[in-house]
Amino acid sequence: MANAKTLVKRRKAVTGIEKITRTMQLIATAKFQKTMHRATATQPYTEKLTELVTHLSRQVTDVDHPLLRSEPVSGRCGVLVLTSNRGLCGGYNGRLLEAGLNRLRESEKNSEMELDVSGKKGINYFRFLGREIRKSYTHLEDKVRFDEVEVLADEFIDRFSRRELDSVYVVYMKFQSVARQVPTVIELLPMQAQADADESAGGEAGVQYDFSPDPEALLAELLPAAVRTRLFQCFTDSAVSEQIARMVAMKAASDAAKDMIKILTRTYNRARQTQITMELLDIIGGVEAIS
């Protein structure tokens, strides 16, 4: 039978842990509400802008925009993996890193890879594997601003336009619902790859447009904007998915701590009862010896 004092110390420690995990769950829930509002508010704009650019690029076949180029030139591909800076979020980072590593291995068969990573967890993981990281970002957290993502998107657009990269992939956690978040790999550049996917999903292929100004000027403005908004949507989806994962993980930890407290309390009561019984037996034995 365990010592009663040891059980008291263990129960006190587990109770403290339960308070911490419960607090972290409440914080994650509050952050989840804010991040979900941002993600759901930007999603319709991102989808409509991408859909519009897709239809325009398919109708205007005589415009040769650099972001629509799909033929390989440099033999180099860029991959951006979005992970979190903090842990305690269950299997969130593990699922993302597995998808990112699979993407790297698949692309390395045909081209040279350049790896960019956002989040300390991903940075530490790829450094442990000995993977060279071209650029790492630790400032893009759950309250990421559009102007911060715009700088990153413009760099990819510039390098792709100068034909330093043949394609750019983004690995992130796509937010579908509170109960479902899926590790997703999208081809950010070239835009033609996304156009094919949207058409197969049932886009409005028969819509006709009148252009003012000319199609070339419109695409020159809309294509970079579509790339920036899609990348920003990836970051907002990742932020809300991270908070959901942390909220679920902390709830599970709190429930496990409560169960452990119950078990320790029962064990303590039995140990204390046994201790009291032994003390009573010692007293009775002493009385009998005296008499």
At 109 the pLDDT is 83
Confidence of residue 202 (pLDDT cuts 50, 70, 90): very low
Which domains does the chain possess? 4-24+252-290 (1.10.287), 25-247 (3.40.1380.10)
At 47 the pLDDT is 86
At 142 the pLDDT is 75
Residue 45 near residue 226 (C-beta atoms within 8 A): no
Kindly give, in sequence order, each residue whose CB lies less than 8 Å from that of residue 190, ignoring residues fewer than 6 positions away.
Answer: 67, 68, 69, 70, 160, 167
Q: Does residue 74 register a pLDDT over 80? A: no
- Report, as an integer, the average pLDDT of 53-61: 73
Helix 191-200 and helix 4-59, axial crossing angle in degrees, nearest 10: 90
Closest CA to 264 of 1, 22, 10: 10
Q: How many helices (H) and strands (E) does the chain have?
A: 6, 5
- Report, as an integer, the average pLDDT of 29-33: 88
What does pTM read for this prediction?
A: 0.83
Tens digit of each residue's pLDDT (9 = 90 or more) over 101-153: 999 988 888 888 899 999 999 999 999 999 999 999 998 877 888 999 999 99
At 134 the pLDDT is 93
- Amino acid identity, residue 79? V
Kindly give, in sequence order, each residue whose CB lies less than 8 Å from that of residue 66, ignoring residues fewer than 6 positions away.
Answer: 160, 161
**Between 210 and 200, the higher pLDDT residue:** 210
At 236 the pLDDT is 93
Tens digit of each residue's pLDDT (9 = 90 or more) over 229-245: 999 999 999 999 999 99
Tens digit of each residue's pLDDT (9 = 90 or more) over 168-193: 999 999 998 888 899 999 999 887 64
Confidence of residue 195 (pLDDT cuts 50, 70, 90): very low
Q: In 10 A of CB 184, how many CB atoms?
A: 17
